[in-house]
Amino acid sequence: MDDVSISTTGMPDPPPLSVLIVDDDKTNRLILSTLIKKLGYNVISAVNGEEAVRMYGNNRPDIILMDVMMPVMNGYDAAVEIKRICGEVFVPIIFLTAITDENALAKCIEYGGDDFITKPYNSTIINAKINAMVRVRGLYNRIADSKSELQEHHSRLQLEHEIAETIFTNITNPKNLEIANIQYLLKPMSITSGDILLCSRTPSGGMHVMLGDFTGHGLSAAIGAIPVSDTFYSLSSKGYSIGDIAFNINKRLKETLPSGFFCATCLIEADEAFRTVAVWNGGNPDIIITTNDAPPIKIPSSHLPLGVLNSDEFDRSVEFIELGANDKIYMVSDGVVEAQNSQGNMYTQERLDAVLLESQNNRNPFSAIEDSINQFCRNTEQFDDITLIEIAAKPLDTIDNTHTEKNDQVLVSVNWALSMKLGAGALQQTNPCPLITQSIMEIQGLSEHRERIYTILSELYSNSLEHGILRLDSSIKENPQGFTEYYNARELALSNLKNSSIEISIEHHPLPSNHGGNIIIIIEDTGTGFDISSSNSSLEDNKNSHGRGINLVKSLCTSLLYTKKGTRVEAHYQW
């Protein structure tokens, strides 16, 4: 049995580090081997750079001492190749050289060297250099371990965000907003939103609408949606007034949320004929009601946000407003009025008022506001969740409730657009298709078309990423282990991805009849392009386990066009 060294902790000592000596001179190799073995390291040797590369691949030494001038392959080229093979693993390379010229020594570092030792050799200097590299190697490994743990933590956090988004969507039930007299824009800053839009029909035939804006944004803010949504839907279905609903939500948030965490809230209650509305505004920007014949009515906040006051201090009082047949109600979160442009100026309530005053006699003031916000904030990072809702004073008894079965019969078809650009880091860590599809559902409410829109988006995105950027070959999937090999190759290629990006743009334009619309999906990548010719066979003729996606997309779209040598694709989907 081999001898095993036992440390004072009772655990076996780690094996000694191995050193690869690369030198074409036999005497130099012998001298170095003797010195390094005395320092307690294992030694292997190579006579030229080519052999060094091969021996590194077979033995994976911990440190390399590399001569510069050698036959077959010199030390510079060998160092470059070994560093390439190492990838993320740090293997110190110390060059051995008789050259003392500063430019030559700098070249050693330029070609991947981490230090150098000049000839003739000094055992003290060799010991110090190797010990220094051992310490650097240990530090690097600890950093690499921390990076791996951080990545694992990020993956768990990403999964939690995706789970939270699903819960948020299910709880807030955006389908309730899919009625003919509502247009809305939800533009979250991150995957989950701190803004919340809720709508519920009352037992008397009226309607409740709530816009909430939690402190902060992202996952922590979205958590508050759970008690708020539960309370809102429960009490609305039972016929409670918005004053009572506000009181009970405040009570629940005060009991469950930490200090300093609250929800700025607008609540509206409309009767069945939309003749009057009751309004409760606590901490949100002004509620604005536009008419054709008079200046807009503004209802500023007269209450504190929900979750601030104790129950005995809470004010349930509401304001009542009479509405005309063509009046419209607008509510926004502070992400609208506080949105910033490239100069750092805010959009402001005054700008919103001016846009509404100018456009209130137009057919679609909502689009005018949305266009104004987009124009003001173009080329600027979004700093908060943005929410806008328009409620037209249309009697509820005239609304066609068949939208739950035939959404395209009753949906208000409006102009809208969204876009995102994902760099290498985002491409490695997230799949944007579920988020984009959900955004489309929330903006236009095309729940019946969700599966088809997601299929189109995900197929085009996958082709752009996997073939255009990562250059993966789908034919790998043909052998029995093909799918495993393909996705292993995909993960490896993704992990090494640098300086690549994909830009996704979605536009929606109503059809001339205003019944239905055209969704334009544009995806452009910085890769070498997707070869569309590989997918020319029809779905029926293609019996392979790959290459069917484009033909499936063609069967769903009215138009599909690849341009810019396959790096840009434009798909049109009509509903």
Output the pTM of the full model: 0.47
CA distance 435 to 167: 13
Q: Give the pLDDT of residue 538.
A: 52
Going 391 to 173 to 206 to 235, the CA torsion angle's sign is negative
Sheet holding 182-187, edge to edge: 182-187, 386-392, 328-332, 287-290, 297-299
Q: Which long-range contacts (CB under 8 A, 24 or more apart) does 395-399 make?
A: 395/272, 395/273, 395/274, 396/181, 396/201, 396/205, 396/206, 396/207, 396/270, 396/272, 396/273, 396/274, 397/205, 397/272, 397/273, 399/179, 399/180, 399/181
Q: Give the pLDDT of residue 546.
A: 52
Does residue 232 sit in the same domain as residue 122? no
Does residue 116 sit in the same domain as residue 198? no
Q: Is the model more confident about 152 or about 20? A: 20
CATH code where residue 447 lies: 3.30.565.10
| Contact in structure between 62 and 18 (CB atoms under 8 Å) | yes
CATH code where residue 136 lies: 3.40.50.2300
pLDDT at 404 over 50: no
DSSP label at residue 312: G
CA distances in angstroms from 252 to 165, 198, 474, listed in the order given:
22, 17, 53
CA distance 333 to 284: 6
pLDDT at 123 over 50: yes
CA distance 158 to 152: 10
Does residue 426 sit in the same domain as residue 364? no
Averaged pLDDT of the chain: 83
Q: Is the model more confident about 248 or about 575? A: 248
Q: Is 344 exposed, middle or buried (0-12, 13-18, 19+ CB in 10 A)?
A: exposed
| Mean pLDDT calculated for residue range 561-574 | 93
- Answer whether residue 464 is part of any domain: yes
Q: Which of 93, 123, 143 is the last residue of a domain?
A: 143
Does residue 47 sit in the same domain as residue 188? no
Does residue 497 sit in the same domain as residue 362? no
pLDDT range class, residue 411, cuts 50, 70, 90: low
Does residue 505 sit in the same domain as residue 405? yes
Q: Which of 399, 428, 443 is the last residue of a domain?
A: 399
Q: Give the pLDDT of residue 251.
A: 94
Task: Summarize pLDDT for 86-97 with one digit per residue, the tens.
Answer: 888 889 999 988
Spell out the residues 6+ positions from residue 510 whose beta carbon is closer than 8 angstroms to its own.
413, 414, 415, 516, 517
| Mean pLDDT calculated for residue range 297-307 | 93
| Mean pLDDT calculated for residue range 156-166 | 73
- Answer whether residue 159 is part of any domain: no
- Answer whether residue 333 is part of any domain: yes
Does residue 267 sit in the same domain as residue 347? yes
pLDDT at 407 over 80: no
- Answer whether residue 150 is part of any domain: no
Residue type, 251: K
Does residue 412 sit in the same domain as residue 375? no
Going 39 to 42 to 45 to 51, the CA torsion angle's sign is negative
pLDDT range class, residue 455, cuts 50, 70, 90: confident
Going 374 to 377 to 380 to 382, the CA torsion angle's sign is negative
Task: Summarize pLDDT for 490-527 with one digit per residue, the tens.
Answer: 878 988 999 999 999 999 999 887 678 899 999 999 99
pLDDT range class, residue 205, cuts 50, 70, 90: low
Q: Give the phi and the psi of residue 542 in degrees, each rounded to 5.
A: -85, 110
- Answer whether residue 340 is part of any domain: yes
Does residue 364 sit in the same domain as residue 478? no
Residue type, 409: Q
Q: Give the pLDDT of residue 232.
A: 92
Nearest Cα neighbor of 294 from 254, 263, 321 is 321
Structure tokens, 324: 């005309």
| Contact in structure between 366 and 416 (CB atoms under 8 Å) | no
Count the domains in the chain.
3
- Only one residue has tokens 């700008």, namely 351
CATH code where residue 283 lies: 3.60.40.10
Q: Is the model more confident about 32 or about 222? A: 32
Structure tokens, 454: 């997601």
- Answer whether residue 205 is part of any domain: yes
Q: Give the pLDDT of residue 6.
A: 46
Does residue 231 sit in the same domain as residue 314? yes
- Residues of the chain above pLDDT 70, percent: 85
Does residue 280 sit in the same domain as residue 209? yes
Q: Which of 350, 379, 399 is the last residue of a domain?
A: 399
- Answer whether residue 168 is part of any domain: no
| Mean pLDDT calculated for residue range 21-45 | 91
Does residue 375 sit in the same domain as residue 441? no
Q: Give the pLDDT of residue 406.
A: 38
| Mean pLDDT calculated for residue range 361-387 | 87
Alpha-carbon 133 to chain mean position: 39
Q: Which domain holds residue 270?
A: 173-399
Q: Give the pLDDT of residue 112.
A: 85
pLDDT at 67 over 80: yes
CA distance 520 to 147: 40
- Answer whether residue 157 is part of any domain: no
| Mean pLDDT calculated for residue range 442-464 | 82
